[in-house]
């Protein structure tokens, strides 16, 4: 919508986190099964990445709501092998935000190499970060949140973050890992500046405004690592949905009727709602 990614088709139905019920089934997914569809609509299964357990980096992927039609609709068609059964403990409204924001947030924690009881920074606190926080808490981690907007800081405090500060504020203690969610290179540099030696910053953003020049000696030297997070694998999705059911993960959501899709998008852009906006049919 914002033109950050070049259009791949002249017209496309957006929406890449879809929860619903199967109406045209298969033997493994009979009619009535509750399922989710994520950003990864399919991979070619043949390229070097697919054959080496890195299907998130597939050379010829299909993206839901970008390359193929997505979920701003009453019905959608999806590849059976890229459809995920949903835990019964989650209704559609609360399951939808898990399907990209949740899974990719979870993958970011994996890419950052988070281990139990570590100190982890979340830079930005929108739809994805607010789902990563309870996962970190379930792992016994201390969570440090730097984010713009009083509303987001308030939500992070309410959810039990160890420390909450402004967008580029430095947490009071050196972090083992940091994940950046804002599409801002300045935030990436702030995250690097918060790490201990050997720490990792994982960038959970499909687009960054720019990467500013930064001081190698103080920010990257000392075996600090800077990594991007691209897409997801089906095992990330399955592992995350199982974990979500196990820890009772429930995203903050605001529902909008389908015919108010533009209002929902505007609310996200204005940052006027906490958590995720979900279109409901």
Query: Which of 167, 80, 174 is CA-nearest to residue 120?
Result: 174
Our CB check for Zn ion shows the closer of 50 and 219 to be 50
Least Å distance, CB 206 to Zn ion, is 18
Taking a C-beta distance cutoff of 8 angstroms, is the pair 281, 172 a contact? no
Interaction of residue 276 with Zn ion, rule CB under 5 A: no
Least Å distance, CB 81 to Zn ion, is 13
Taking a C-beta distance cutoff of 8 angstroms, is the pair 32, 22 a contact? yes
Our CB check for Zn ion shows the closer of 53 and 88 to be 53
Give the Cα-Cα-Cα angle 16, 18, 20 (nearest 5 degrees).
165
- The DSSP output letter for 259 is G
222, two tokens: 């000392």
Interhelix angle 129-138/101-111, nearest 10 degrees: 50
Interaction of residue 115 with Zn ion, rule CB under 5 A: no
Site residues for Zn ion, 155-194, by CB under 5 A, read: none
Span of 32-40, 45-53, 142-150, 262-270 interacting with Zn ion by CB under 5 A: 45-53
Span of 55-63, 85-93, 105-113, 148-156 interacting with Zn ion by CB under 5 A: 55-63
Give the Cα-Cα-Cα angle 76, 105, 204 (nearest 5 degrees).
100
Least Å distance, CB 55 to Zn ion, is 6
Separation of alpha carbons 271 and 281, rounded Å = 23
Least Å distance, CB 183 to Zn ion, is 26
Q: Tell me which of 50, 188, 203, 229 binds Zn ion, using CB under 5 A.
A: 50
Span of 43-51, 162-170, 187-195, 211-219 interacting with Zn ion by CB under 5 A: 43-51
Our CB check for Zn ion shows the closer of 48 and 221 to be 48
Span of 35-43, 99-107, 162-170, 263-271 interacting with Zn ion by CB under 5 A: 35-43
Within 8 A by CB and 6+ apart from 106, the residues are 131, 132, 135, 236, 239, 240, 243
Q: Tell me which of 13, 22, 47, 243 binds Zn ion, using CB under 5 A.
A: 47
Span of 38-46, 96-104, 113-121, 140-148 interacting with Zn ion by CB under 5 A: 38-46
# residues contacting Zn ion (CB under 5 A):
5
**DSSP state letters, 189-242:** HHHHTTEEEEEEEEE--S--S------HHHHTTTT-EEEE-----HHHHHHHHH
107, two tokens: 């993958």
Span of 46-54, 127-135, 173-181, 262-270 interacting with Zn ion by CB under 5 A: 46-54
Interaction of residue 4 with Zn ion, rule CB under 5 A: no
Interaction of residue 44 with Zn ion, rule CB under 5 A: yes
Separation of alpha carbons 275 and 215, rounded Å = 34
Interaction of residue 58 with Zn ion, rule CB under 5 A: yes
Least Å distance, CB 108 to Zn ion, is 21
Our CB check for Zn ion shows the closer of 58 and 232 to be 58
Cα dihedral 46/243/118/236 (nearest 10):
10
The footprint of Zn ion (CB under 5 A) covers 43-44, 47, 50, 58
């Amino acid at each position: 919508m914002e033109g950050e990614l070049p259009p791949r088709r002249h017209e496309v139905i957006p929406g890449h986190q879809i929860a619903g019920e199967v109406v045209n089934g298969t033997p493994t997914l009979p009619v009535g099964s509750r399922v989710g569809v994520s950003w990864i609509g399919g991979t070619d299964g043949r390229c070097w990445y697919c054959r080496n357990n890195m299907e998130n980096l597939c050379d010829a992927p299909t993206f839901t709501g970008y390359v193929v039609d997505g979920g701003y609709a009453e019905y959608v068609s999806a590849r059976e092998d890229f459809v995920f059964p949903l835990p019964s403990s989650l209704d559609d409204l609360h399951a939808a935000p898990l399907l990209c924001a949740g899974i990719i947030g979870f993958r970011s924690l994996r890419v950052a190499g988070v281990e139990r009881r570590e100190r982890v920074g979340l830079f930005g606190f929108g739809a994805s970060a607010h789902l990563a926080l309870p996962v970190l808490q379930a792992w016994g981690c201390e969570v440090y949140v730097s984010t713009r907007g009083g509303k987001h800081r308030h939500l992070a405090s309410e959810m039990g973050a160890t420390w909450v500060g402004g967008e580029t504020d430095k947490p009071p203690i050196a972090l083992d890992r940091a994940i950046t969610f804002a599409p801002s290179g300045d935030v990436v540099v702030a995250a690097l500046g918060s790490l201990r030696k050997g720490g990792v910053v994982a960038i959970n953003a499909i687009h960054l405004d720019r990467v500013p020049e930064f001081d190698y000696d103080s920010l990257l030297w000392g075996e600090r690592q800077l990594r991007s997070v691209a897409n997801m694998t089906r095992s990330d999705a399955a592992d995350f949905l199982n974990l979500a059911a196990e820890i009772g993960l429930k995203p903050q959501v605001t529902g909008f009727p389908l015919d108010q899709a533009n209002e929902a998008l505007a609310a996200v852009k204005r940052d006027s709602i906490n958590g995720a906006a979900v279109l409901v049919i």
